[in-house]
Structure 1
């Protein structure tokens, strides 16, 4: 079969053996595969990725000298089943799948491993237990967004954003745009998006952002009304003095109980929930330095290089720092339901489609934020 492979950072189209499904697996004819920011990263930083995941116990991740078929955002049609499967869906059924395989007892990440070639190919193998049928009427250019939108859904859930608490999205590349879509789908009333690119700010509006800002002109923290004295430590301490003066004047008031439950009742001063979707060194430090007190920072962008932060800044502001990775099968399935039901429309992210011969150029084109957000691969184009 034909496939686009990466070898020592170079992309080319080759003829490679068609994979065969093993126990618990099925073969799909790839209809679409999305080019992810992770694909762009590992093309240049596969050694760093290998080093990190090896420490986590995953020892077969790609290295630069290996020839790898990338592509983990998968959509395809059922072709054939391997042994020990239930044959749940008829051949020709459109399916989306989590990019994880278990072969001979070992776990492999599809599109990042020589033992699990990805979707930049005519055919691909997926795990039956991690595969979900696409509801009737959902177009391939929509269903293929299940995987990246599931990443965003997981990030929003981990962020625990209430409808009333502002959300700030830093970076409006594909994952930032996906986070905006999911925030609005979850009913968050105020979503502020920040990006240097005019084109991506425009896409953020299409995805539902309530306010978009160019950070060179105005900080995102000025784009909404803050609840309580969270702009500075001295304001917050002054607020504490004023509050204690009030509550201690009221006879028989259990003021300790009132204050201890203020946060649970949503009455204590709080900052926004910030989604860091850039993934470059220095961005976390910038956010923690500039953000209001009691801000929750959800790190979605993948920074492949060492970084430095000042914990003392985060401590004095009580910054809540959360890192997110991937999603679970329930989040994946729910994301597909949201797309099928029209609750989430990923079409603003889709800015181009190429065949296998166009993947190398697409990787180059995605470096320009004014040109593209998400490019899909149609292996049969």
Structure 2
């Protein structure tokens, strides 16, 4: 690969290739690795050499079905948005970073001018450019151009692959904050995919005294226990509502957080919440309209919160991950170089019982 010397500052420079490898989704279930030019950076842009990218559930939806809701893939498309790497070049107006800095990438770049951005709810910005959400290209690339305001430093003690988890953990932090979780609360979390597991960590960090979780996969339930779940239930053969009733002496939980996207689980969550409790919804159901027992919600005065991405969560997420350290390792079950992206996506798509977080390494495979 030919290389060009790019100026980073008056005192620093780094050799960056002229071209890079990028993984393109060509059609449903088919990804290919292509060669393209490394982007130049100007102004407040930063060029990040990506060292790790996690495969997210939304990536799998686009990979397999070509759409989520009303968002359709425009082929060919680059996926991936959970990422971290090292700064290799900076624009002339960048003030927060220098070459060599290790960073986590917040994937959603908001306009910061609309009413939602000005209110601090930039996750609702109608003009947000979110990595991998069509038509915005994502992070399954070797080098990513990104604004400095949406990059966050990571300590040397935090690996790149663990730093990528700041993205799903941010969703979970936003969820427990939206629901108003307070120390001493009893929380139930349904669905132990990566976001559900991150929600266990967030609930524990915010002081939940009882964390009840459910899933149908033993691997996911055991990982949840390692992360701090106090009680685990296999929804394939155990009645979660009955278990919650017994654990709480018939009162119900203070908060139930639904991450699975299962419509029936969402419907039953109304029964599991205590009077005056809250239901927090993260998972997208397969169907757009899910009937809920509004009468029961009214009688119990239950608060219903929906969660869409996050705002101002990355510094806390990075701090939590650094504090947890190696204990977070069990969530990363599969590792692939970018060249094997097809196999990585297939694994994430088909091996729910054996895989949690599939990690892709655009530049080299870490130990």
TM-score class, shorter: 0.7 to 0.9
Segment drifting more, 137-146 vs 33-42: 137-146
Residue in 2 aligned with 1:218?
Answer: 238
In structure 1, runs of 5+ residues without a counterpart are 53-62, 231-269
Q: Which has the larger radius of gyration?
A: 1
Moved over 6 A (4+): none
SS class of match (2:304):
strand
Aligned counterpart in structure 1 of residue 106 of structure 2, from 79, 98, 117: 98
SS at match of 1:69: coil
Cα distance in 1, alignment partners of residues 102 and 131 from structure 2: 18
- Structure 2 distance, partners of 1:273, 1:343, is 27
Contact map agreement 1:32 1:378 (CA 8 A) in 2 = yes
Give the structure with the larger strand fraction: 2
Name 1:68's counterpart in structure 2.
77
Structure 1 residue 289, shift from structure 2 partner: 4.7
- The answer (yes or no) to whether the contact 1:100–1:126 under 8 Å persists in 2 is no
Residue in 2 aligned with 1:7?
26
Distance 2:138 2:68 in 1: 20
User: Is 1:369–2:349 an aligned residue pair?
Assistant: no
Q: Say which SS state the counterpart of residue 347 (structure 1) adopts.
A: helix
Query: Quick one: structure 1 residues 227 and 171, their matched pair in 2 at CA, closer, same or farther if it must change by over 3 Å?
Result: closer
Aligned residue for 2:337?
355
TM-score (norm 1): 0.78
Gaps of 5+ in 2: 1-19, 114-126
Q: Decide whether the 8 Å contact of 1:185 with 1:343 is kept in 2.
A: no
- Is 2:320 the partner of 1:334? no
| Residue 26 (structure 1) aligns with | 46
1:203: Cα distance to partner?
1.0
CA drift of 1:223 comes to 4.6
Decide whether the 8 Å contact of 1:145 with 1:346 is kept in 2.
no
Q: CA RMSD in A?
A: 2.5
Report the CA distance shift for 1:305/1:21 in structure 2 as closer, same or farther (over 3 A). Answer: farther
Counterpart of 1:111 in structure 2 is 132
- Kept in 1, the 8 Å contact 2:253–2:272? The answer is no
Query: Partner residue of 1:257?
Result: none
Q: Alpha-carbon deviation of 1:375?
A: 0.9
Q: Aligned equivalents of 1:107 and 1:20: distance in 2?
A: 22
Q: Which residue in 2 is equivalent to 1:298?
A: 280
Instruction: Give CA-to-partner distance per residue, 1:177-200, whole Å, 9 cap, x none.
Output: 000011112221100110111111
- The count of aligned residue pairs is 327
